[in-house]
Amino acid sequence: MRALLPWLGLFRRHKWRLTLGILLAVVTLLASIGLLTLSGWFLSASALAGLAGLQTFNYMLPAAGVRGAAITRTAGRYFERLVSHDATFRILQHLRVTLFSRLLPLSPGGLRRFRQGDLLNRLVADVDALDHLYLRVISPLVGALVVIILVTFGLSWVNLTLALTLGGIMLLTLLLLPPLFWRAGRPIGESLTHLRGEYRQQLIAWLHGQAELSLFGASQRWRDEMTDTEQRWLDAQRRQAGLTALSQSLMLLIGGLTMLLILWLAGAGVGSQQPPGALIALFVFCALAAFEALAPITGAFQHLGQTIASALRLSQVTEQKPTVTFPDAPTTPPNQPSLNLENVSFAWPEQQRNALESVSLQVAPGEHIAILGRTGCGKSTLLSLLTRASDPDSGEIRLGERLLRDYDEASLRAAISVVPQRPWLFSATLRDNLLLASPQADDETLSAILTRVGLAGLLQDQGLNAWLGEGGRQLSGGELRRLGIARALLHNAPLVLMDEPTEGLDAATERQILALLRDLCADKTLLMVTHRLHGLSAFDRIVVMDDGHIVEQGSHETLLASGGRYTQFHRRLQAMI
């Protein structure tokens, strides 16, 4: 239960809508009870009046009461559904925004242990499960308690003993059955939550990896694992459905026995009426209708285990501390920044060896530097530290005269343009994906930058309205990289970081992109990680890394003349051409 407290606190923002929904639910239940109670008494009283040969019987007021109760029940049910669902949707919106705002500071370091499908499942399905807390637990529980008090109070004016008997049985049912079925349904709810997350994670992995699974003959084995998970999920749902049926049957049994008990007790007389006359019908039908308020209670508490499990899964994410924090005070980065790394060391979590070891590098304002080295030598790690995706374990990084960690996040992001190895595209139009880098850019500017990076072909059919789909799956690797370069150039930051920007491009396109970079980044500081040697002679300096260290650096001509690691690298690649 304690796991729900942080999320219950978020409900207070919508307390008036939630309270109104509960009040309307109570009004609806009272109208329903009043309709059946009054109808039963009215019919019985009319029959007795006819048998007794009474000449006068006031049927106008009871008939008006029946119609009023019917209209109130219908209108109350409509507005209760309207208000309750509106409040629930607002709560879900608030929960998702809150959860996403807590996820952002954790990215990327705090989210590495979670798979993409697992995070998506927590953000969508686990947040959806929290709506049970109001619709299936809080509202029915509070509504039932209020109805028990009001019904008992109302009937006590007619017969105190019968009223207390009915109220006591209903209150005892309310106190005993929900905890009983919560304990019975808790393991099933937890199992449902975990199996749902496991299945959706497997499904997303299967959808994303169909080509690879088919290529290596593992598609059927993966499908078998999904089928096994699905079967266990269905078995858990079957057990929960059986428990729900048991709870409903037990509630019907208790309600029927209570009605028989009230009928037996009322047979001896109701209040001052001996025999009870039509009042016996009033109490019997009231007992029958009053248990409608308790009907959702047992089923609601079965789902509470699932809700608590979802809340725990969400708390596993939100209770993490960000690995990187930014100051709140705004800062102003320099227009032409220099970079200074002093004895920087860094190791990824759960890795024994340092990815970077005592790296020192000075980059002058406007200098263009190419970073070379074999895979895993620390090149991409170095770029991630410059963007503050992580902080170094030791050493300092300065941007201009200020430490990198002293910049607020907005200023730092505005000062850096990044082209990652695989640029991420959203399932949106070409225009939307470009405007992420420069929201104020017009269509003419966007089309011009696409033409300059060699992507004019994307404008042929639908222009900037072309739909890219999830991750830009219909684009080639080279097109993805050029689109990433276009976004970096649109961002127009003074510091440009590029990770393999020309990988997957043909020689002609590579020359075009490098020439474009030299042109548009002439007054910017540029660091480019690459495995390719073409165009490196145009860079001011080349830095060669190996095993987390900078082993040599200098101009293209200087490094070739030194006969060191760069020369070996150059000869090996030349031999492969």
Indicate if 538 and 429 belong to the same structural domain: yes
Q: What is the pLDDT of residues 66-84, one digit of tens each?
A: 888 889 989 988 998 899 8
Neighbours of 409 (CB within 10 A): 15
Residue 424 pLDDT > 60, yes or no? yes
CA atoms of 443 and 490, how far apart (whole Å): 12
Distances (CA, A) of 391 to 55, 245, 320, 384, 408: 94, 55, 17, 9, 14
Residue 575 pLDDT > 70, yes or no? no
Residue carrying the six token digits 């499904």: 203
In a domain, 110, yes or no: yes
- Give the pLDDT band of residue 574 (cuts 50, 70, 90): low
CA atoms of 223 and 203, how far apart (whole Å): 9
In a domain, 333, yes or no: no
- The confidence score (pLDDT) of residue 104 equals 79
Q: What is the CATH number of the domain that holds 214?
A: 1.20.1560.10
H or E element at residue 546: strand 541-546
- Give the pLDDT band of residue 61 (cuts 50, 70, 90): confident
In a domain, 533, yes or no: yes
Are the C-beta atoms of residues 17 and 255 closer than 8 Å to each other? no
Choosing from 318, 348, 377, the residue where a domain stops is 318
In a domain, 324, yes or no: no
Distance of CA 109 to the CA centre of its chain: 18
Q: At what angle do helices 477-491 and 443-452 cross, to 10 degrees?
A: 130
Q: Which of 31-35, 148-152, 259-263, 423-427 has the lowest mean pLDDT?
A: 423-427
Nearest to 96 by CA among 131, 143, 57: 131
Residue 399 pLDDT > 60, yes or no? yes
Residue 296 class from Cβ within 10 Å (0-12 exposed, 13-18 middle, 19+ buried)?
buried
CA atoms of 340 and 362, how far apart (whole Å): 5
Residue carrying the six token digits 């420069």: 438
CA atoms of 403 and 424, how far apart (whole Å): 29
Are the C-beta atoms of residues 420 and 502 closer than 8 Å to each other? no
- SS3 (DSSP) at 59: coil
Indicate if 122 and 161 belong to the same structural domain: yes
- The confidence score (pLDDT) of residue 473 equals 65
In a domain, 450, yes or no: yes
- The confidence score (pLDDT) of residue 248 equals 86
Indicate if 302 and 409 belong to the same structural domain: no
Q: Within 209-294, where are the H helices?
A: 210-215, 219-266, 279-290
Indicate if 487 and 522 belong to the same structural domain: yes
In a domain, 54, yes or no: yes
Choosing from 263, 289, 318, the residue where a domain stops is 318
- The confidence score (pLDDT) of residue 282 equals 84
Distances (CA, A) of 418 to 52, 179, 226, 473: 94, 55, 38, 21
Kindly state the average pLDDT of the residues 202-209.
82
Residue carrying the six token digits 């705004």: 330
Indicate if 117 and 190 belong to the same structural domain: yes
CA atoms of 271 and 252, how far apart (whole Å): 28
* Overall residue count recorded for the chain in this entry: 577
Residue carrying the six token digits 């008997």: 165
Nearest to 31 by CA among 68, 73, 75: 73
- The confidence score (pLDDT) of residue 78 equals 93
- SS3 (DSSP) at 94: helix
Kindly state the average pLDDT of the residues 203-207.
83
Nearest to 318 by CA among 10, 94, 6, 88: 6
Are the C-beta atoms of residues 548 and 356 closer than 8 Å to each other? yes
Indicate if 86 and 137 belong to the same structural domain: yes
Residue carrying the six token digits 């405007």: 435
Structurally, the chain folds into a number of domains equal to 2
Nearest to 523 by CA among 387, 417, 367, 369: 367
Domain that holds residue 393: 339-576
Are the C-beta atoms of residues 297 and 29 closer than 8 Å to each other? no
CA atoms of 55 and 298, how far apart (whole Å): 49
Are the C-beta atoms of residues 544 and 566 closer than 8 Å to each other? yes
Indicate if 120 and 162 belong to the same structural domain: yes
H or E element at residue 192: helix 160-208
Indicate if 466 and 380 belong to the same structural domain: yes
Indicate if 405 and 303 belong to the same structural domain: no
Nearest to 18 by CA among 90, 101, 102: 90
Indicate if 273 and 187 belong to the same structural domain: yes
Q: Which of 91-105, 430-444, 460-474 has the lowest mean pLDDT?
A: 460-474
- Token pair belonging to 312: 């725990």
Are the C-beta atoms of residues 57 and 45 closer than 8 Å to each other? yes
> What's the mean pLDDT when you consider all of the chain?
83
The DSSP bridge partners found for residue 270 are: 273
Q: Which residues of 140-162 are buried (b: 16+ CB within 10 A; e: fewer)?
A: bbbbbbbbbeebbeebeebbeeb
Q: What is the pLDDT of residues 235-274, one digit of tens each?
A: 988 998 888 888 888 888 998 898 888 888 887 777 666 7
The DSSP bridge partners found for residue 363 are: 339
- Token pair belonging to 347: 């190791």
- The confidence score (pLDDT) of residue 228 equals 92
Choosing from 318, 349, 368, the residue where a domain stops is 318
Indicate if 67 and 183 belong to the same structural domain: yes
Residue carrying the six token digits 């007389």: 269
Are the C-beta atoms of residues 159 and 283 closer than 8 Å to each other? yes
Residue 187 phi, psi (nearest 5):
-65, -35
% of the chain surpassing 90 pLDDT: 5
CA atoms of 86 and 89, how far apart (whole Å): 5
- The confidence score (pLDDT) of residue 460 equals 79
CA atoms of 199 and 100, how far apart (whole Å): 23
- The confidence score (pLDDT) of residue 451 equals 86
- SS3 (DSSP) at 417: strand
Q: What is the pLDDT of residues 538-569, one digit of tens each?
A: 888 888 888 888 888 888 888 888 877 878 77
Q: What is the pLDDT of residues 434-468, one digit of tens each?
A: 888 888 888 888 888 888 888 888 787 788 888 87
H or E element at residue 191: helix 160-208
- The confidence score (pLDDT) of residue 231 equals 93
Tell me if the pTM is above 0.75.
Answer: no
- The confidence score (pLDDT) of residue 322 equals 79
Q: What is the pLDDT of residues 322-365, one digit of tens each?
A: 778 888 888 887 777 888 989 989 888 777 788 888 888 898 88
CA atoms of 62 and 70, how far apart (whole Å): 12
- Give the pLDDT band of residue 404 (cuts 50, 70, 90): confident
Q: What is the CATH number of the domain that holds 496?
A: 3.40.50.300
Residue 577 pLDDT > 60, yes or no? no
- The confidence score (pLDDT) of residue 471 equals 67
The DSSP bridge partners found for residue 417 are: 496
In a domain, 41, yes or no: yes
Selection from 97-101, 437-441, 573-577 with the highest mean pLDDT: 437-441
In a domain, 328, yes or no: no
Indicate if 294 and 412 belong to the same structural domain: no
